[in-house]
Amino acid sequence: MEIPDRSAGRPPITRVAVPAIAFAQHPGLVERLLALYPDAKVNTEGGIYYRGEDETIDYLAGCEAAIISFEKITDRVLRALPDLRVVSKLGVGLDQIDPIAMRRHGVRLGWTPGVNKRAVAELALCLAMAVLRQVLPCNLSMRAGDRPLTRLGRQLSGRVVGVHGVGEIGQEFIRLLQSFGCRVLGCDIKDRSAFYAQYGVEAVSAEELAARSEVLSIHLNLNPTTRNLYDIGMLRSLRPDCVLINTGRGEVVNEHALYRALTEGWIAAAGLDVFETEPATDDALLNLPNLVATPHIGAGSIEARWEMGITAIEGLTDNFIPVPGKPPFEFF
């Protein structure tokens, strides 16, 4: 059966909408977009359009192309937007985009892998070091006027560091670890043997990763096989001195299980940049002294935002019809 393509035989796109609030945080991106698409509609007022499909539909009504962040692109959204021909992604995560619906409606996808990998990898490294050295408890103690004389933490140098998901960001994280003399364990469903050989990474199973890692950094995308992967069973299998870092997707880690792990001593501490619900709502978890939390700022550097925005603009013209089950949707 012939696959439809809403752009086939039609004139160039002129009506562009950007509901993603992150795009306008870099004024240069707005200027670049408007220079190319003078009639573009850009969210500069800070409203959030990814909380529900209705908000996204309302914002994109009548537009031919969209630059999105966390807005859901589903069959219902696409049926309600017959003019929409291209969806371009600000960033790399595709878990909110339904490739089956995209292909069914003939809507093209602009997407560039790895565009924010350095920014996210740096934050993962930052969280690991902050948790190991107990930066947050010391900071809170200082603010409370306690002025502790000393507090012992652990160095990252020489630790056994597990990396779950060795794609673009996981690989960048491993590169950053090179100067710390860590023993690095890698776990991925793909064959990463060439990369492992170059950077001295030991390939292990998920079970061995959990059993051996002193620091375990999650860099998995969200799909049916990874959702709630870190449940009670998985968290109980970690070392009691393990530091868990998640800069991938929040729903990979079950937060109720993580709360028990942190309060009952299954693991030592955690650093999270992503949560099951965003903005995060579980104050009981967020207020734990052995948790360092940031509000999904992994890609929130000036440099990364510029690269993400530029590639998203390029994606309005450099795009493709998604194929479910194939890259970049092979795990959908």
Q: With both helix axes pointing from N to C terminus, report the angle between 117-132 and 135-143 in degrees, rounded to the nearest 10.
A: 70
d(CA 191, CA 212): 21
Side-chain-side CA neighbours of 315 within 13 Å: the count stands at 28
Given a contact cutoff of 8 angstroms between Cβ atoms, the answer to whether 215 and 132 are in contact is yes
Question: How far apart are the two ends of the chain, measured CA to CA in Å?
Answer: 22
The amino acid sitting at 299 is A
* Residue 88 φ then ψ, to 5°: -115, 135
Buried-state track 60-80, b at ≥16 Cβ within 10 A, e below 16: beebbbbbbbbbbbbeebbeb
Given a contact cutoff of 8 angstroms between Cβ atoms, the answer to whether 226 and 249 are in contact is yes
Q: What share of the chain is helix, strand, coil (3-state, %, to 5)?
A: 35, 15, 50
d(CA 229, CA 132): 24
d(CA 49, CA 52): 7
Which positions are annotated as active-site residues?
Answer: 249, 278, 296
Token pair recorded at residue 63: 């537009």
The amino acid sitting at 216 is L
Token pair recorded at residue 220: 């998995």
Number of neighbouring beta carbons within 10 Å of residue 143: 8
- Could you give the angle at the alpha carbon of 252 between the alpha carbons of 209 and 237, nearest 5°? 35
The amino acid sitting at 224 is P
